[in-house]
Structure 1
Amino acid sequence: MGRQFEYDESGSTSYFFVLSFLTLYLVPTTITKIYGLFCGSKDQEDTTAQDGPAVVRKKHVAKNSGQGWCRASNVIFVCAWVLFLVLAYAVSDDEVEKQYNPFEILELSADATDREIKKRYRELSLKFHPDRNQDDPEAADHFVRIAKAYEALTDEVTRKNWEQYGNPDGPQERSFGIALPAWLVSEDNKHAVLLLYVLGLLIIVPTVVVMIWRRSQQFVKNKILHKTIAYFFRFMENRKIIEVMAVADEFRERRITLRSTDLETVREVCKNANLGSDPFSKGKKRWRFNNVAHAVATRVLFHAHMERMPVTSEMQADQVVVLELVPMLTQALVEACFVNYRFWLSTAKECMYTCQLLMQARPEAALREPFAMVEEQLNRKAITTLARNKPQPITNLRELFAHSEDELRAMLQPTLGDEAMEDLLIIGSRLPFVTVELTLEDAMGQTYQLDQGDTVYAGEAMQLKFKLVRHDAQSFPESDEGYRLRGLVKPTHEAESEDAEPEAESAEAVVDDEDEDEDEDDVWGAIEKPDKEEGSKELKSRPALCPHYPHAKDEQWWVFVGTEKDKAKHEDHLDSLPLKVMMKDDFEGKFAFGVPRLKGGHVWYPSFYLVSDSYIGLDLEIPMKFKIATSRPVVEEVAEAPAASMSADESKAPVTNDSDSQASDSEDDEEEEGDIPMTLEGILAAARNQQRDDADDILQDDMDW
């Protein structure tokens, strides 16, 4: 029995090959697009319908969805479906070769007897005999098939061949089809096919791989361009965040620019925002980066959004694009503040406040308004009423919505009226009021009180555990300060002070039995991999109340520790990398920061900050107080006592920390070349030096201001 390989002459098998690959692409893509079309639009409706004046957002979302159907991915998707349907129709028309079956030819069932076979053969042979159908050639062919089928069922040898090989003539030559068209391996086309292989495998595929790799190398974490990080690192200045953010290279890639038809609108925006009449003017009043087209255009669009000014349709489309990048770029700015050698706390806070202004479409003056989130509902008379409230004036949103609904109605309804009062209560039900619980530990699990001036040691790593709980106006604890410091001798009720244990009242360090074996690596892991602890939880959040922001936005918060300049003798300092968290009802996490290397006896006043990226006036600052010691005291161990016979009290004695004492004694010594920095300052200094080197290289090679 021979074997023969045949290529597809008709193209039917090659159609199946192409259809298989199209199916691999079309099935997941179709499911994704159907889900986005129905479920995605439903989510957008849910997040916009409850935002009150959400006309601006709905308009932008509708415009974006209309433009999305013209994207290249959608065109490819439609073309793939058209090709799939055409090939499927072509395959359906192909005749399928049936397996030889003599019973089917004689129109009998498989269990027919010999008598039935002979009877049926006589009937069909008389009907299709060539002498009776001389004008019908198909009848003659069918008569031959009938005779052959009868022989296959009555002759023992023939029937055995049919049952064993599927053919009454015995074994046949077996052929294997290859799903490639015959012209592809034709001798006449071999040079053209070889050229296609060379172009595809040696030129096109490597080129695509190199392009994708080079594109990926342009980005750092969170899809931020290397150039953007370099610009932020070099040009970061306090209170000029809009200017620095506008120079991001992402806007250049998206071709954000001004057109001649936009000049009149640009002048109006500059006038209302007190930016000057002409962004391209020269002299002392000239704009920063006025020779960078996308930076000028983006800055104008930002200020137009913050002033809630109407712009041209082209500018409006660009405005939607630039606003979408604000949360991502703000996080990059905040991280640049931490990596910067100056540790700018005030600049990092300005970045966060700028994000709040852009989310709420408010000018910078809104940061000085304690009721900025409800400014449209509260009039001047109502604000005066709150300021004169007895027994304690109401000066911010937390104090306002800490009162019950009945108390608010009694205070404000005569001044506001029914409609404004209802709007105020609705907004209060949507705003998040977060309470915080803090616990501070060192690398050995020793806990500290946060506002009693406990002694901490210069250069050591500390771990701050925090628990955030989200409340609305109805569930916000009445007269709550917004935070609780675990271990404080400051109970909220007298009953708690009576039941408090002496260990909780003592200012001595307390070591919990469960944390005795906690390794110092956990603290360093929190410093080097802050996202791992955060990512281990299922992140859920709630839609933010941002009616003028043209994209869906979730509530998110920055948590970090910093020291302001006016609270200490050293400079403004960002002590920890700001972590961005999201929560639906509550969130628990931890992060590490280092104690500054100050002289012994110095009092250190850091603060824990909780800053929203969406709301103005809902941030929280928790003051802390510590006394800094130069080094941890050394406790000598008794050498004569065997390790196996140590008592329980001796095993719980404080562990000697020689590395910390040696580090403090040799603070001015230089590290040997090639040593790994094992202190917090060494790790952070190495990161900052590397970031500065990368920024200098990028700016030197690529920038021309």
Structure 2
Amino acid sequence: MLFALGGWLLMCWMVYLMIVTARTIPKIWDPYEVLGVSRSADEKAIKSHYRRLSLTQHPDKVRLDPAKNQTIESVNDHWVEITKAFKTLTDEDIRQNYLLYGHPDGKQSYSIGIALPKFIIQEGNGKYVLMLYGIFLGVILPYYVGKWWYGTQRVTKERVLVASAGNLFREYEDGINEGGVVSALSAGEEYNDVLKGSKADSGLARVEQMILADGEKTPFAGGLNVKDVTKLRELDEGVRRKALALLWAYLSRMELKDDELNDQKFDVVPTALALNEAFTTICLAYGNVGPLLASYHTSQNLIQAIAPGQSPLLQLPFFTPAVVAAVEGESARTHMTIQEFMRLPAHERKNRTIGPDLLDSNQYQQAVNLASHLPHLQVEEAFFKVKGERHIVPNSLVQFVVKARIIPPGTVDVPKLDPKDLVDRDEDEDEEDTKAADKKDTSIQPPIAYAPRFARDHSPRWHVFLADSKQGKIAVPPFTFSTFDKPLFKDDGSPTFAVQTFRMQFGAPPQMGRYTFAMHLVCDSYVGFDFKGDVIMDVADPAKAEEMESEEDISEPEEDSIAGQMAALKGGAAPPEKPKKARKPKVQEVQDSDDESDTEGEMDTESETDTDTDSDGE
């Protein structure tokens, strides 16, 4: 506020200076104004007016008036100005000088300068001015330039400190799981700003006592396993240990019974999510599927405040471990996803959820309503293609196309797919549709993720990548999608069921053969919405592919062709032109192999092509 007030005062002072300067600076010399004639006056009128002035303004005719401070000099100067103005408007040479240079005497010399405060140019102040310049150019300016440069060099492109990225790199392990990722994220230097001074140790013993207490459904109340507890106890007391304890308290949704500790608990989570972005990059550098999925799942856990291994049903409002146990049953070995919960018959779902110490009817209805609006992305088709070609050949630019729809859990009466929506035509074959699509908004944002415990608004993102399931390696790095090309929901909140198209490009393997990839589609905001399926790419021999294309292009002779005219001369009519067949890609098999996926059975996949990423063949 003081800075803004100072700015307004400076503005007012500048306006005052402009007004004062406008009053004191000499006006531009104007001969019409000096003579007192209009600019439309002709030469005859100017001469007539000049003669009248000579009768009253000539020094020989003027009677000096002491009351007006008139002197012989002022009267003479005034008459000189009148004469100069008259000649300017009547003498051709003088008039040309005025029109060209703005002055009757021709081009004038001028100088420019900088308006400096008086104390700078006063005698005796030179040494102080030099000292000020030296301090500014030698100390202040280098300090701020260096600070800016250091600030750009001390953070990575993921906007985390370089020191934090180094710590995360040292924490990486090939077999790391979600709990290990949480422990690794506590190594960030950014927590020093959140837990300054005494905050690093204050309340640490209380938090650890609460998260390490015996849990009802888990060995520890904080959701840790034995390995996570060992990692926590190995740390020295300080910022990192306090941050890790607060993260586990947040993931287990534990009330710490202290306002300051609760505030710190929610403050460390956005920092952990930012650090997880950097850890994902490190996992991609190693190229192992397990750590990458663990990092993605940790993002889901942080946003939804669910400890690793806990039920996805905890994402629904009012759901507690006791409600989850009643819904899943005491004998359940695996957790139920929201999709499976919404697929239960309505009466059975109510009987499991509503009751004493569970939910009431209003809470149940709110939970079901939320579940029926979650953006679950269901894959309908996935295939490879090469733009403008029917077959994939070695080292060609392949495009992996995914067709999917947003189908919220529990949706009934899902409309059938239009086969046209699953066809991916090249741009040159569908130019009109492309122009029409360009007119529409192609960046539809999904709804903000439902995450009431996460202290930031977060827009969901979907990651798609291909992996070699046998070796556990990433074959094609992830492509991240955060927008859609078609609306997801109508104005009344119901889904549109529009088929969305995602594309990722990479280079085809250098050898011919059949390649099986595991396709992973992971949402970073919701637990249990992952999809995994097998997709097959056939890389054909270039010579055979060209031969097959030439056979497909053979058609019957047309009337206007030479063969058609020869057939007509022989007495037979030329066979009618056969319509050209649309190029159909070879259907491949995509299997749902993710236990938590909501998609069952097999799905067809086309084998055309178009993309830009190096891929290692099996």
TM-score normalised by the shorter chain: which range applies?
A: 0.5 to 0.7
Mapped to 1, the partners of 2:212 and 2:321 lie a distance apart of 25
Partner residue, 2:170: 234
Q: Which of 295, 302, 318 matches 2:247?
A: 302
C-alpha displacement of 1:179: 3.1
Q: Which of 301, 304, 311 matches 1:369?
A: 311
Letter in 2 for 1:137: N
CA 1:164–1:229 in structure 2 vs 1: closer, same or farther (change >3 Å)?
A: same
Q: Which of 294, 311, 329 matches 2:275?
A: 329
Letter in 1 for 2:209: K
Which has more helix, going by share of residues?
A: 1
Partner residue, 1:469: 405
Q: Which of 534, 551, 560 matches 2:465?
A: 560
C-alpha displacement of 1:552: 2.0
C-alpha displacement of 1:152: 3.4
Q: What's the % identity of the aligned pairs? A: 15
CA 1:115–1:251 in structure 2 vs 1: closer, same or farther (change >3 Å)?
A: same
CA 1:177–1:405 in structure 2 vs 1: closer, same or farther (change >3 Å)?
A: farther
Partner residue, 2:116: 181
Mapped to 2, the partners of 1:650 and 1:619 lie a distance apart of 40
Q: Which of 396, 400, 412 matches 2:337?
A: 396
Partner residue, 1:65: none
Q: Is the 8 A contact 2:64 2:70 kept in 1?
A: no
Mapped to 2, the partners of 1:646 and 1:574 lie a distance apart of 33
**1:582 lines up with 2:522 in the alignment:** no
Q: Is the 8 A contact 1:257 1:293 kept in 2?
A: no
Partner residue, 1:287: 232
Once the two structures are superposed, what CA deviation does each residue of 1:603-646 show, in whole Å capped at 9, x if it has no partner?
x9864332222222323333x287x99xx898999xxxxx9x99
C-alpha displacement of 1:411: 9.4
Q: Is the 8 A contact 1:158 1:169 kept in 2?
A: no
Q: TM (normalized to structure 1)?
A: 0.54
Q: Is the 8 A contact 2:479 2:504 kept in 1?
A: no
Once the two structures are superposed, what CA deviation does each residue of 1:139-197 show, in whole Å capped at 9, x if it has no partner?
88875564334323555798667644458873474212223538778897777666766
Q: CA RMSD in A?
A: 5.6
Letter in 2 for 1:322: V
Gaps of 5+ in 2: 214-219, 222-228, 428-441, 489-499, 555-612
Partner residue, 1:439: 382
Q: Which of 72, 83, 98 matches 1:151?
A: 83
Partner residue, 2:453: 548
Q: Is the 8 A contact 2:462 2:523 kept in 1?
A: yes
Once the two structures are superposed, what CA deviation does each residue of 1:437-487 show, in whole Å capped at 9, x if it has no partner?
443448897879xxxxxxx99x9998643234324458x46589xxxxxxx
Q: Which of 202, 205, 212 matches 1:274?
A: 212
C-alpha displacement of 1:334: 2.1
Gaps of 5+ in 1: 1-68, 278-283, 449-455, 481-491, 497-503, 505-511, 516-536, 565-569, 638-642, 653-677, 683-705
Q: Is the 8 A contact 1:129 1:139 kept in 2?
A: no
Q: Is the 8 A contact 1:438 1:464 kept in 2?
A: no
Q: Is the 8 A contact 1:269 1:300 kept in 2?
A: yes
Partner residue, 2:187: 247
Mapped to 2, the partners of 1:370 and 1:168 lie a distance apart of 87
Mapped to 1, the partners of 2:185 and 2:530 lie a distance apart of 22
**1:608 lines up with 2:519 in the alignment:** yes
1:308-323 matched pairs, under 5 angstroms:
308-309=254-255, 322-323=268-269
Question: Quick check: 239-248 or 262-271, which moved more?
Answer: 262-271
C-alpha displacement of 1:299: 1.9
Q: TM (normalized to structure 2)?
A: 0.61
Mapped to 2, the partners of 1:156 and 1:438 lie a distance apart of 87
Partner residue, 1:508: none
Q: Is the 8 A contact 2:201 2:238 kept in 1?
A: no
C-alpha displacement of 1:588: 0.8
Letter in 1 for 2:83: E
Letter in 2 for 1:396: T
Letter in 2 for 1:420: Q
Q: Is the 8 A contact 2:314 2:324 kept in 1?
A: no
Mapped to 1, the partners of 2:142 and 2:158 lie a distance apart of 27
Mapped to 2, the partners of 1:317 and 1:138 lie a distance apart of 83
Mapped to 2, the partners of 1:147 and 1:433 lie a distance apart of 92
C-alpha displacement of 1:406: 11
CA 1:82–1:146 in structure 2 vs 1: closer, same or farther (change >3 Å)?
A: same
Q: Is the 8 A contact 2:444 2:483 kept in 1?
A: yes
C-alpha displacement of 1:350: 2.7
Partner residue, 2:577: none
C-alpha displacement of 1:431: 1.3
